[in-house]
Structure 1
Amino acid sequence: MITRTPRVALLAASLLLTGCGGGVVAATGHTDAPAPAVTPTPSSSPSARMSAEAAPARLSGVGPRTLALIPARTRQVVLVTGRGANSPRSTVALYERTGQGWQPGASWPAHNALKGWSDHHTAGDLRSPTGVYTLTDAGGLLRDPGTRLTYDRGTGFSSSGTGFEGEPLAGSFDYVIAINYNRKPGTSPLDWTRPLGAGRGGGIWLHVDHGGPTHGCVSLAEAHMRELLVKLDPARHPVVVMGDAASLAR
């Protein structure tokens, strides 16, 4: 674990850097009813059951085009599956790659951006960027919970105001993991470098859930963020695979 001290010049700008938080914005209508559960019918053929049991475990709902974007050396995936292209609700699951394929671990409910997802995220579009991004840097207002990621603690991670549904934002940045979308890996999550230009947005984080949609980030309950921070290992080259279910299935 390496700890950095945020640069003073960045502290006052911290809320501007993130794709989440901000003042109250009128929410647009959306439907977040989950899809009905489908119960598979077990095969009566012993050979069919044996084949299924022997097959390598896969990333649930992830299709070949998305799988091809995951680096060969990656052994940890944070899979964020949105309920729909325009939904602010999603599920986060942690997978570990072993000799038997991708093995699922914990799974948690989450929020994403107010208007859902985009494969061409731009600043202020209120959508989370779909894609596969590395995870190298973390930080927060609270002290390092024991992560092996580089962790930057400081008051620049303070948050205030209210979210889209009137919920307080205080504590949202107690823990954050920078998603390497339009940012320079190896820097504090507060770093303002935008390789694709400011128009393509940035400051896309995994952070503590405040009970409502975000501007572009993915948010989890504080206990789940702490657990994720402890489990992620740079030696396993973790990435986040994120998007709505239909996009990920391609």
Structure 2
Amino acid sequence: MTLPRRRLLYAAGLPLLAATGCTDAAAPPREENAPPRDPAPARSRVAAAPARLPRDIPGLGPRTRARVPVRARQALVVTGVSRRSSDSTAVLYERGPHGWRAGPAWPAHNALRGWTRHHTVGDLRTPAGVYGLTDAGGLDPDPGTKLPYDHGPAFTATGRGYEGEPLAGSFDYVVAINYNRKPGTTPLDWTRPLGDDRGGGIWVHVDHDGPTSGCVSIAKPHMRTLLRTLDPRKHPVVVMGPEAWLAR
């Protein structure tokens, strides 16, 4: 979502359920003088094999996978319903020694007019692609993220969205998407390496129950989880676009 031009100083700011049940029954009496029964063979204990995880993130085709940096071990995958839809789903994946593990699926919104591969100012489309996630901020205090976090009143959101919904609270938590911005700065920094006409200020932020102008939005508890999970040492990225585009 494109914000008014301003510059601020940067303030650095899933369970294993086991259900066991047993039924005790009295042993039948043994016939007198009957030979003793052989003891039951001991059961060998074999360590459980590690869960099989996908080597590649499901839903991503070869062209999209090739754009994910090799060093990235966290990927927020935002899958749009279609090129013109503002409804999407976000899943945070983390790569370990056995492959990519998926977190829960979170309902999300993207821009009013869907997605584009060439975002420009005012087109009301979210830029599809793979972008780094390096900087965060918000109106609310740092919830415990490892990312640099800029906290202050400049993240106050006002007005109403495209469906008449209030925007208040939308910027309580934000993660800057490194589209046309300078990484390592506050999400409010206005530097636009591709030029002002290519837009900017594209964030993951708190959902306001409606389409955005270009950002991705998820519910506030999910934003809090995202912020607490993202780790700059794992070089997190967002992989986003309509389902058919991601599958290329």
Count of residues in Structure 1 that have an aligned counterpart in Structure 2 = 203
In the alignment, which residue of structure 2 is the partner of 1:159?
157
Name stretches of at least 5 consecutive residues in structure 1 with no aligned partner: 1-13, 19-52
CA distance in 2, matches of 1:164, 1:239: 28
CA-CA distance at 1:147 after TM superposition? 0.1
Q: Could you list the per-position Cα deviations for residues 61-115 of structure 1 after superposition, in whole angstroms to 9, with x for gaps in the alignment?
A: 1001010011111100000000000000000000011122111112200000000
Kept in 2: contact 1:56–1:102 (CA 8 A) = yes
CA-CA distance at 1:58 after TM superposition? 2.8
With the length of structure 1 as denominator, give the TM-score of the two structures: 0.79
CA distance in 1, matches of 2:156, 2:229: 24
* Matched ranges for 1:164-243 at <5 A: 164-243=162-241
Tell me which amino acid in the other structure corresponds to 2:3.
L
Write 1 or 2 for the structure with the bigger share of helix.
1
Secondary structure of the residue that 1:223 maps to in structure 2?
A: helix
With the length of structure 2 as denominator, give the TM-score of the two structures: 0.79
In the alignment, which residue of structure 2 is the partner of 1:72?
70
Kept in 2: contact 1:15–1:159 (CA 8 A) = no
In the alignment, which residue of structure 2 is the partner of 1:145?
143
CA-CA distance at 1:204 after TM superposition? 0.2
* Aligned residues: CA RMSD: 1.5
Q: Could you list the per-position Cα deviations for residues 122-157 of structure 1 after superposition, in whole angstroms to 9, with x for gaps in the alignment?
A: 110000000000000000000000000000001110
In the alignment, which residue of structure 1 is the partner of 2:34?
none
2:4 is aligned with 1:16: yes
Q: 2:128 aligns with which of 110, 127, 130?
A: 130
Kept in 1: contact 2:53–2:100 (CA 8 A) = no
Name stretches of at least 5 consecutive residues in structure 2 with no aligned partner: 7-50
Kept in 2: contact 1:74–1:239 (CA 8 A) = yes
Kept in 1: contact 2:113–2:125 (CA 8 A) = yes
For the pair shown, the structure with the greater C-alpha radius of gyration is 2
Secondary structure of the residue that 1:16 maps to in structure 2?
A: coil
Secondary structure of the residue that 1:163 maps to in structure 2?
A: coil
Kept in 1: contact 2:79–2:89 (CA 8 A) = yes
CA distance in 1, matches of 2:118, 2:234: 28
Tell me which amino acid in the other structure corresponds to 1:201.
G
Q: Calculate percent identity across the aligned residue pairs.
A: 65
Change (3 A) 1:223 1:54: closer
CA distance in 2, matches of 1:219, 1:56: 27
Moved more, 104-113 or 136-145: 104-113
